[in-house]
A = this chain, B = another copy of it.
Amino acid sequence: MALNPADDAFAARLGALLPVGTLRPLSPRYATEPRGRFRAREGIVAAPASPAEVAAIVRACAAARVGIVPFGGGTGLVGGQILPDGPAPVILSTERLNRIRGVDGTEDALVAEAGATLAAVRAAAEQADRLFPLSLASEGSATIGGVLAANAGGTQVLRHGNARALCLGLEAVLADGSVWHGLTPLRKDNLGYDLRDLLIGAEGTLGIVTAASLRLFPRPARTATAWLALRDPAAALALLGRARAALGDGVTACELMARQGFDFVAETLPDIRQPMTPPPAWALLIEAGGPAGFDIDAALEAAVADAMAAGEVADGVIARSGAQRAAFWAAREAIPEANRRIGAIASHDIAVPLAALPGFIDRVAATVAAMGPFRLNVFGHAGDGNLHVNLFPPAGQGRAAFADRRAALTRAVHDLAHGMGGSVAAEHGVGRFKTGALARYADPAKLAAMRAVKAALDPLGILNPGAVLPPG
């Protein structure tokens, strides 16, 4: 069932159904992605301003069998938002679907349209004295529709879960143009199958989210943050255990960073102030929240002191102010941007069981070293077992010369993670970059079920064609 292109005749028909200005020509903003691996060559951009307009677009595409590529903030790292080949699609940008429809402190819930940025949602929650905990480096651009499509993770998963754990309900347009009105603040609603979680993480291949009802939390009255120099990655797990014993499940973040990342930051973002100079071989940013009557700084300090006495931690700084805490996070969040400026040959988003994490780091370093003179930057959310394993050319060399090594490097990193019981797609999604990995590593029964579900919910194959599912 081949798709048809969104050609001039189709564009004219579609434009007649929509307010003037809804359709736009393809421009670089919609054609490129942060990794520089995929580029859209053709397509019509549509920027609907209401769920009804989204439904009209989907109905028109279904009738003409034209593909639709949903487009949020454009920050996705696996090419889910870019169709590089095949018949020209409609690129459905959610940029005008960006309202916060409401914030409800009684229900601890917020309704945001798909195109609202994560930062806007966090700010709206804060204005109501609530916390929306999902947080990631690109939150100024990443949209709620995008983070739900990818089931994004970020730095607060340890305590608050991935995006799906923060979503109470959805409004979405299905492949036949019907609108599912599933926005609800309810914590308990089992009236039928979990369509919400099926759409979350499906990267726009099963339906197009137009709005979401999101969970809010009390803002922690007190927050404690430490920046630590670790003996080795295993010490991160030891410290996490100590912190959870002292602080319960108030530990919200546990970020591991290798020296290579700080060197990249120093080279490309010299204005970023680094918490420790020279940077340690391994640093950990750990943060916890708690109620007003709890001296959380003292509890975290005691855990750190025990870790220092045990030799797990060589040095540590507890943030003494909000500004210092923000500086710690700025140093952490600078790492992905520094990586981009250096230019990775290959980037990976894997997760392994916590017990396997130190061994994985050792083995990936040895494996990569045996394959060539690559620079390795490992960092990520150690508390979730989620590491970003990015490989760079030797200093002074560009990545282009190593493009032919990319597949073998990725295969080696993925094989290692998978072989240790891990995932090769932890928090960035599958997109178009990892469809081959999905074919290789996914459980066969699950993959068959995925294909059946896709055929059932999008029988024409118009929703984000080529994303997630490998060619059958």
Please report A residues at the B interface, Cβ cutoff 8 Å: 104, 106-107, 150-151, 153, 157-158, 161-162, 164-165, 174, 178-182, 184-195, 197-198, 200-202, 206, 217-218, 220-221, 237, 244-250, 289-295, 298-299, 351-355, 381, 384-386, 421-430, 434, 437-438, 441-450, 452-457, 468
| Known interface pairs A294-B291, A294-B293, A452-B457; A445-B190 also in contact (CB < 8 Å) | no
Q: Once bound together, how far apart are the Cα atoms of A448 and B386, in whole Å?
A: 37
Please name 20 pairs of A and B residues whose Cβ atoms are closer than 8 Å in the assembled complex, sorted by A: A106-B355, A151-B190, A162-B187, A162-B188, A162-B190, A164-B197, A178-B448, A179-B445, A186-B352, A189-B351, A190-B201, A191-B424, A191-B434, A192-B442, A193-B201, A193-B449, A294-B294, A449-B457, A452-B456, A453-B453
Inter-subunit contact B453/A354 (CB<8 Å):
no
Number of copies: 2
Q: Once bound together, how far apart are the Cα atoms of A240 and B158, in whole Å?
A: 25
Inter-subunit contact B201/A441 (CB<8 Å):
no
Inter-subunit contact B437/A178 (CB<8 Å):
no
Inter-subunit contact B292/A246 (CB<8 Å):
yes
Q: Which of B178, B191, B457 contacts A444 (CB 8 A)?
A: B178
Q: Smallest Cβ distance from A421 to chain B, in angstroms?
A: 7
Besides A180-B443, A190-B425, 6 other A-B contacts (C-beta < 8 A) = A185-B354, A186-B353, A193-B202, A250-B291, A291-B294, A293-B298
| Known interface pairs A193-B202, A194-B198; A187-B384 also in contact (CB < 8 Å) | yes
Q: Which of B106, B161, B198, B427 contacts A193 (CB 8 A)?
A: B198
Give chain B residues whose Cβ lies under 8 Å from the Cβ of A299. 291, 293
